[in-house]
Structure 1
């Protein structure tokens, strides 16, 4: 399997900027230098119109200077309560890596939502013991980029030393720790707090976006795989969750971003209390196991029919899913869920969102010959939201 990059794009809203540059969750498309090597971090901005190869707008030019900060192997104390997370995505088509933080000795783990989003299985390794566990998603908040996992069969785990971000100031020393690049060993990247209360906007290929606010900005070289890992203060206490990194065109980190631990724990507490609302979801969604065609948004063309078929055209079916076991195939058109007509992929998604894994529901579809079928299926567990 290949390690998949987390490739969602973010933009930074900075005071005085006329436009924005591009950054990624956890430096997701970049690999950190191996422990013992140096990471170069820009500490003084280049001219806005020249920075990072993007259109930053116009402004006064400034000389760019850099400082080199060593990325080293994390110490035992820095690894306390830290876990590596490897997720299987696309039903076994690839893997992605991230980091997490142990909240309880019984195996509740805090990480970023984007670390587990789209995953169909999750393996977590406690770095203090080397033991690995299967993990389930307790709940997620895409809006806040927070997820809580439960390790199966875990007990007696060391927990992270929790601090607070409330007293942080610009210039304070911090260290980002994480599974950088999914390389052997865990990297510790020292830096300083360069700004507070920062805002970034994340967007995916569809043009939809999420905005994260109140973030800590740091010069620590946060890199691919660090997402969900701890940002530690000078006393080794957890003050933030590594989340995003801005890079220059050579791939070097010029700014890292972390969610303040106080906010992250507040969201985690709501998840663990069972909150299920507009910003927090419990568990994983119900899963039918079909990939919809783009044409399904408009009804979809059913072969051997003289007009567009009302419903959602299936472009693919996941092997051994509820849809597969019911006999649905590519080219079929789903017309109803639970007796309620669906005319678009959005309506199909909404109909399934009302149900839980394990629920039984009647699916009605039309095959390529125009013949209608109805079968009752048991919905499975879908990829994490």
Structure 2
């Protein structure tokens, strides 16, 4: 299934996965569940809120692709009778179709227009919408409920969180709405969505909160409210209201086979949005907290190898030089169990917690290290740009030589030499031990290890020679571990990989027989 931005819906469904539903409990509930009655009407609430919800129209000048493939095909709803008509027409317009003339005229410029929604949060003319509604626009207009059109300028944009703040000039105070507390919303609560679906103008739909904390893999800060209130293309940037008329979400995306609502819409929670909007208003950009770590999920295999009871937390698989984590003495292999008093059950929770924390704040963290919990404190910095982060990635290392079989794991490893650097295109400053061979059907092959991968740590201890690797593997075996944990550097980055020691024993038995 593909996620569709409500402003520009894209391709069709690719597939759906289903989870088994737990059986109903057989015992009786101690107290009967009672639902509050539905409102008799949403009319009074809608009438109060509609004036503060606006249509956002953005346009940009683009050059038509008028090369050998001919002019661009307009986009029509699937099955539209105009689709085949325009296809036939454009085929006749391709170069060479008339009189064999292949001369091409310069591609003409044209205006592309995009329609979305937004809402006014300040009577002086501040408007909130989605970043993707105005992305790339060279002209933005805000249309009020009374059809007054006002030119808008961009105050600030947050691409990662898909939020934009606009400002319009007005000679009178505008109607406004205010942010509410999205953390108080429960699954089953009534909500109201208002927006501009398909460019029709102010439209009201009602539904309930279907789920909380949805991660739809659109970014590292995903924490969406899911609702079944109808949300369609053009609703992007519009508000999701609670029954007190407060904005508790910004409607941003839908799951859909066609771009139309099927009752699965997603909204950015107001508690996340209002912090970003305040930063955009003050700084023109988001100022997110930053710890300076790369993380990975703690699997049951990793948890077992480190003596951790539950497979929870975020495991540190890289630390940025000079960042807050390094200054706080965090290490590769540390598992962050809680951050600023909030439990970190899953890896994806940590980036949101860090990003929502004020820059410069000192926060406590509970860490799993060397088989026990410890507490450290870090002072968060402002998250650098992606370009700055990319240029800051580096390490230092020694140069050494010769291959060794790590018995039972199906690995051959060697010290990093100039020849191996050239062969596997390793960095000059790469440290660790390079894998030169992986046996089929081995523990290493099961985990996808391959020649050219570099082992940087084993059981959270740095390794610089094959002997270091062998020593740590034997120590893990002697401690009755089922897995040995290795920090692997590969093309995709750095990752902890647990290798089964059970498979190692099976391999030895075969060799004896």
TM-score category of the 2 structures, normalised to the smaller one:
0.5 to 0.7
One of 197, 211, 216 as aligned partner of 1:195: 211
Instruction: Report the CA distance between 1:250 and its aligned residue.
Output: 8.4
Answer yes or no: is 1:105 the counterpart of 2:123.
yes
Q: How does 1:221-260 map to 2 (within 5 A)?
A: 221-248=230-257, 251-260=260-269
Q: How does 1:1-385 map to 2 (within 5 A)?
A: 21-26=1-6, 28-29=8-9, 53-57=13-17, 75-90=46-61, 92-127=110-145, 129-183=146-200, 185-202=201-218, 210-248=219-257, 251-276=260-285
Distance 2:283 2:178 in 1: 25
**Conserved? CA contact 2:49–2:177, under 8 Å:** no
Distance 1:130 1:115 in 2: 19
2:367 matched residue in structure 1: none
Instruction: Report the CA distance between 1:260 and its aligned residue.
Output: 1.1
Distance 1:225 1:250 in 2: 10
Larger-Rg structure = 2
Partner SS, residue 271 of structure 1: helix
Larger strand proportion of the pair: 1
Instruction: Flag the structure with more relative contact order, 1 or 2, with Cα contacts below 8 A and sequence separation at least 6.
Output: 1
Partner SS, residue 190 of structure 1: strand
Instruction: Report the CA distance between 1:277 and its aligned residue.
Output: 6.5
The alpha-carbon distance between structure 1 residues 170 and 58, as it changes in their structure 2 partners (threshold 3 A), is closer
Q: What CA RMSD, in Å, does the superposition of the two structures yield over aligned residues?
A: 2.9
- Structure 1: stretches of 5+ with no match in the other structure: 1-20, 31-51, 63-71, 203-209, 281-349, 351-385
**Conserved? CA contact 1:28–1:223, under 8 Å:** no
| TM-score between the two structures when normalised by the length of structure 2 | 0.40
Partner SS, residue 267 of structure 1: helix
Distance 1:119 1:279 in 2: 25
Partner SS, residue 273 of structure 1: helix
Q: How many residues were matched structurally?
A: 222
Instruction: Report the CA distance between 1:56 and its aligned residue.
Output: 3.2
Instruction: Report the CA distance between 1:80 and its aligned residue.
Output: 3.4
**Conserved? CA contact 2:2–2:13, under 8 Å:** no
- Structure 2: stretches of 5+ with no match in the other structure: 23-41, 63-109, 290-386, 388-513
Instruction: Report the CA distance between 1:145 and its aligned residue.
Output: 0.6
Larger helix proportion of the pair: 2
